[in-house]
Amino acid sequence: MNVQKAISVLDAELIVSGDGFLKDVKHVMVSDLMSDVLLVDEDDMLLLTSLASDQVLRTAQIVGAVAVIIVNGKSLPSSMKKVALDLGMTLAVSKHSKYNACIAIHHCMPQ
């Protein structure tokens, strides 16, 4: 599954296509706690979170995530799109709950 597929599966609105839009997703991290995200050491990771802040994008960049999808339909702070553009980070927003998003993504990931 690539990021484009994940965005489609989650009926997400693409905010910034960034550098990761067509990249494969090998790991998915679901957390609102960036401290936890910073502990992850995996390549090609998709970050699902209901936390909408600039620091989510910066954290995703630090751990080398390919994309960030904000769930629960959270509205984004005005600065977030610009930060995503600056970092080249793929950013999308889904109305799915975190729980349902996890289920949908799980069905698409290779078992």
Partner 1 sequence: MENATPQSTSTPVLFETSPGKILPADIGHQPLVLLELIQRLKVRDVMTRDVVCLERYIPLWEAQRLMKEKHISGIPVVEDGRLYGLISKDDIILAIEGGYIAQPCGHYMTTKLVVLEDDMPLSFAIQYFDRFHFGRFPVLNRERALVGIICQRDINRALLAELSEEFNRMEKSSARTMQQELDTSTYMLRDFPVAKYDFENVGKAANAIQAAMIERKFPTKIVRRVGVAAFELEINLCVHSIGGVLSWQINNGRSEIVATDKGPGIEDVAWACKYGTSTANEWIRSLGFGAGLGLVNVKRVSDEFEITSAVGVGTTVRSVVHIGTPPESQGT
Residue 101 binds partner 1 (CB under 8 A): no
Kind of pairing between the strands at 27-30 and 67-70: unpaired
Nearer to partner 1, 51 or 105 (CB): 51
Assess contact for 71 and 49: CB atoms under 8 A.
yes
Choice from 67, 87, 91, 105 touching partner 1 (CB under 8 A):
87
Residue 111 has what DSSP assignment?
-
CB 17 → partner 1: shortest distance, Å?
19
- Cα 19 to its chain centre, rounded Å, is 13
Choice from 11, 22, 24, 64 touching partner 1 (CB under 8 A):
64
Residue 38 binds partner 1 (CB under 8 A): yes
Q: How far apart are CA 70 and CA 56, in angstroms?
A: 9
CB 104 → partner 1: shortest distance, Å?
23
Assess contact for 91 and 67: CB atoms under 8 A.
yes
Choice from 11, 22, 24, 36 touching partner 1 (CB under 8 A):
36
Choice from 5, 26, 27, 58 touching partner 1 (CB under 8 A):
58
Residue 65 has what DSSP assignment?
-
